[in-house]
A and B are shown apart, each in its own frame.
Chain A
Amino acid sequence: MAQYAELIQPGRVHSAVFTSEDIYEAELENIFYRYWMFVAHESEIPQPGDYCTKWIGQKQVIVSRAADGEIGVFFNRCRHRGAAVCMEEYGNASFFRCPYHGWTYNSSGDLVGVPYPSRYGDDFDKSSLGLAKVARVGSVAGFIFASMAEEGPTLAEHLGKAAGYLEDFVKASPLSTVSLSAGTSKSTFWGNWKFVGMDGYHTNFTHKTVLDLRQRKQGASYSRGAGNSDKSSNESWDLGNGHCRLDLTGKDKVAVGSASNTSIAANIPDTDDGREYMRLMTETYGDEAPEVIRRSRDVHIHVWPNLQLIGSQVRVIRSLAAGRTEVMSYPAMLDGVPDSINTERIRSFEWFSGVASFGTPDDTEVFERNQIGLQSDYIPWLVLGRGLTVAPQEDGSLVGNVTDEVPQRAQMQAWLRAMGPESAVDVAVRTEGEAK
C-alpha cells in the first residue's frame, strides 16, 4: 500500500496513476461524482421542454429545461424500479414516461403520474419520488456544470480564474453567445483520460504532419515549429484548481485574411462575410474588437477535470476505465454572424479534430502508446520536470514557456488534492535503487 502523495512527487508521477483500475474506481468517487463537471451547454436545450442526455462517469443524467426555463440535471433512473426513463440523446418532451410501469415525470423531474395508485398506502408520497437531482447545478457563459456533492466549493470558487476564459470563448460572437448546434464528433481511445491535457511540448513531434501540411501550403514564408519550442514566446499557464492553458495567440495580429500564427484557430476569411464579421464585432466591442477576437479565437484551456476549449471546439472528456476514454467534441457555432464564418469554423475543426482528421488521431495514437508503455513499470516514474522552477505570479498563477510541464503538474496537483494525499492506495512504490 502507498499514499497518493507518494505517487505524485515534485517533477515525477507514478505510472499507476494511469494504469490502476482501483485508482479509476476511486477517481469516479473522488472526482467525477464530487467535482463540478461540465455536463452540457445551454444552447443544446434552448427551448422549454428541451432535454439532452449526458454521462457523468458511469451515471447517465438528463439535462432538462423545464416549462419555466429552469435547467435541471436528473439521474436517468425511474424512482420505482430503476429503468432509464429517456433513451434519446436530444429531444423535446413534456413528460418522461418509464416504459416498465408507466410512471411519468415532467420536465422538472417531478413524478406526476403513477398508474393504478389505489394499491399504494395512504403514506405514498409522489412529491418525494421525483427523478433524483444532481445536487448542484450552475452555469457560466452558457456552460452548464453539475456537482453531485451537496456541499463544497461553489462553481465560482471552483472555476476561479478559468471563468474569464469561458467568457472570452463566447465573445468570438458579436452577441457573446455560441451554439453547440453543429453536431458532435464522438471518439474513444485505449488510454487513460488524464492524457488528454494541455501540452505545448508535443506539437512539433506528435503533429509533424500538421507542420508538413502548413509548410506545403505556406512555402518558404512558414516558420516551421517556431511557436512550439523552448525559444518561443508562447506560454503555458497554471490557473489554479487544475485549470491550465496554453497561450498560443498572444502575438497574433488580428485582421481579415490573417491566420493565427501558431494556433489552430479558424481564419477570418478575406471575403465579404469576413469583413462583415469584423464590422459586427466592431459594432459590439468597439476598438476592443481585434483584442476580443485575439483572446477568443483559441483560449486553449483545460477546465479541470473534464472540459477543454481549443480553437473553435468544446471538448468533453470521460473516463470509462483506467485504459479507456471517451471524448466528445463540438464545434461551437457563433451566434449572429454570417453563415460562411461558421462553415469555416466547421471545416477548420474537421481539419485538425475528429477521428479521421489530420491532428487528434496522432494525439490519440500517442495516448494509446502511453498506455502500452506504462504497463512496463520496472521503473514506474514519468518525468514532468520541464520548467520546474517557474516562480508564481502575483495572482498565484504559474506561467512558463509553452513547452514547460506547468499544465501537467497543475493537473496532477489538483488530482492529488481530490484523491487525498494521505489516502491509501493499493500500489507498491519501491524506494530508489530497489527492485520492484
Chain B
Amino acid sequence: MALLGDVTEFLLLEAELADANAYDEWLALWDDPCTYWVPCNRDDYDPTKHVSIIYDDRARLEERCFRLTTGGAHSQEPQSKVCRMVGSIRVVDAQGADDTVEVTARVIMVELRLGRKSVYAARCHYTLWRSPSGFKLRRKKVMLLDADEPLGNMTFLI
C-alpha cells in the first residue's frame, strides 16, 4: 500500500500543477526521453500511422510549455481554469521494465474559459520511473471519452 500512496501523491501533484497552468513545474515532472500521448479517434493504434491529438516526445513537450509561457498563445489568453479529479488509481505493474511502475486512473476535468464550461473524462495510463529523486513521468496516455468527437480548444494541459 505504501507504493499506491506514493503513486497517488505523484498523480495528484501532477494534476494540481496542470490545473494551476504551472507549465514549468509540470514539465519538471517528466523524464527525458518521454512520451505524452492523447490518442485521436480511438484509444489504441500505431501512432506512426495514425494522427493523434497530442503525440509529444521530450522536445515537443518542451516546445508546448515554451509556447504557453512565451506570450502570444491567444488560445490560452486568458488561460483555461481547470479543476480535475483523479480517481480509480491502480498500480497495474509494480515491477515494470527498467525500474518503472505502471499505473492506470480515471480523470474527470472541468474546464472553464470565456464563460464556457466543458467537461472531459479520460482513462489514463502512466509509466512512472523511480528516479533517485522520486517518480518521473516517462509516459502518459490520456484516452479521452471524446477522442472521436469534434472538440474545441484543448490547449490547456490535459
What 0/1 pattern do residues 190 to 216 of A give for CB contact below 8 A with B?
100000000000000010110011001
Q: How far is the CA of A190 from the CA of B67 in the complex (A)?
A: 24
Q: Does A20 contact B (CB under 8 A)?
A: no
Interface residues of A (CB under 8 A from B): 89, 181-190, 206, 208-209, 212-213, 216, 326-328, 330-331, 339-340, 342-343, 346-347, 349-351, 354-356, 358, 361-362, 364-366, 368
Majority secondary structure, B binding face: loop
Q: How far is the CA of A330 from the CA of B51 in the complex (A)?
A: 8
Residues of B within 8 A of A89 (CB): 148
Closest Cβ of chain A to B81, distance in Å, is: 16
Given A186-B148, A188-B150: A212 in contact with B51 (beta carbons within 8 A): no
Closest Cβ of chain A to B147, distance in Å, is: 9
Of B41, B49, B63, B150, the contact of A358 (CB 8 Å cutoff): B63
Given A183-B50, A183-B51, A185-B53: A326 in contact with B66 (beta carbons within 8 A): no
Taking a contact as CB atoms under 8 Å apart, the answer to whether A209 and B67 are in contact is yes
How many residues of B are counted as interface, with CB atoms below 8 angstroms from the partner's CB atoms? Answer: 35
Pull 16 A–B residue pairs with CB atoms less than 8 Å apart, ordered by A.
A182-B49, A183-B45, A183-B50, A187-B150, A189-B152, A189-B153, A190-B116, A331-B51, A346-B48, A346-B51, A350-B55, A355-B53, A356-B54, A361-B153, A364-B152, A365-B75
Q: How far is the CA of A326 from the CA of B149 in the complex (A)?
A: 11
Taking a contact as CB atoms under 8 Å apart, the answer to whether A355 and B153 are in contact is yes
What 0/1 pattern do residues 138 to 158 of B give for CB contact below 8 A with A?
000000000011111111001
Given A206-B74, A350-B52: A356 in contact with B154 (beta carbons within 8 A): yes
Residues of A within 8 A of B47 (CB): 346
Q: Does B60 contact A (CB under 8 A)?
A: yes
Taking a contact as CB atoms under 8 Å apart, the answer to whether A364 and B153 are in contact is yes
CB-CB nearest in chain B for A353: B51
Q: Which of B37-62 contact A (CB under 8 A)?
A: 38, 40-41, 45, 47-55, 60
Of A208, A216, A342, A366, the contact of B49 (CB 8 Å cutoff): A342
Given A212-B66, A346-B48: A366 in contact with B154 (beta carbons within 8 A): no
Q: How far is the CA of A206 from the CA of B72 in the complex (A)?
A: 8
Interface residues of B (CB under 8 A from A): 38, 40-41, 45, 47-55, 60, 63-64, 66-67, 70-75, 114, 116, 148-155, 158
Residues of A within 8 A of B70 (CB): 209, 212
Instruction: Known pairs A89-B148, A184-B41, A209-B72; list 6 more (Cβ under 8 Å).
Output: A182-B51, A185-B40, A209-B67, A346-B48, A351-B60, A355-B155
CB-CB nearest in chain A for B50: A183
Closest Cβ of chain A to B77, distance in Å, is: 8
Residues of A within 8 A of B41 (CB): 183-184
CB-CB nearest in chain A for B151: A355
Closest Cβ of chain B to A125, distance in Å, is: 40
CB-CB nearest in chain A for B68: A209
Which of A190, A327, A330 lies at the interface centre, i.e. has the most chain B CB atoms within 10 A of its CB?
Answer: A190
CB-CB nearest in chain B for A366: B74
Taking a contact as CB atoms under 8 Å apart, the answer to whether B48 and A339 are in contact is yes
Residues of B within 8 A of A326 (CB): 150
Q: How far is the CA of A62 from the CA of B36 in the complex (A)?
A: 36
Taking a contact as CB atoms under 8 Å apart, the answer to whether A356 and B150 are in contact is no
Closest Cβ of chain B to A244, distance in Å, is: 24
Residues of A within 8 A of B75 (CB): 361-362, 364-365
- Shortest 3 CB-CB distances between A and B: which pairs? A208-B72, A361-B75, A186-B150
Q: How far is the CA of A15 from the CA of B16 in the complex (A)?
A: 42
Taking a contact as CB atoms under 8 Å apart, the answer to whether A362 and B73 are in contact is yes
Q: How far is the CA of A328 from the CA of B74 in the complex (A)?
A: 22
Residues of A within 8 A of B158 (CB): 356
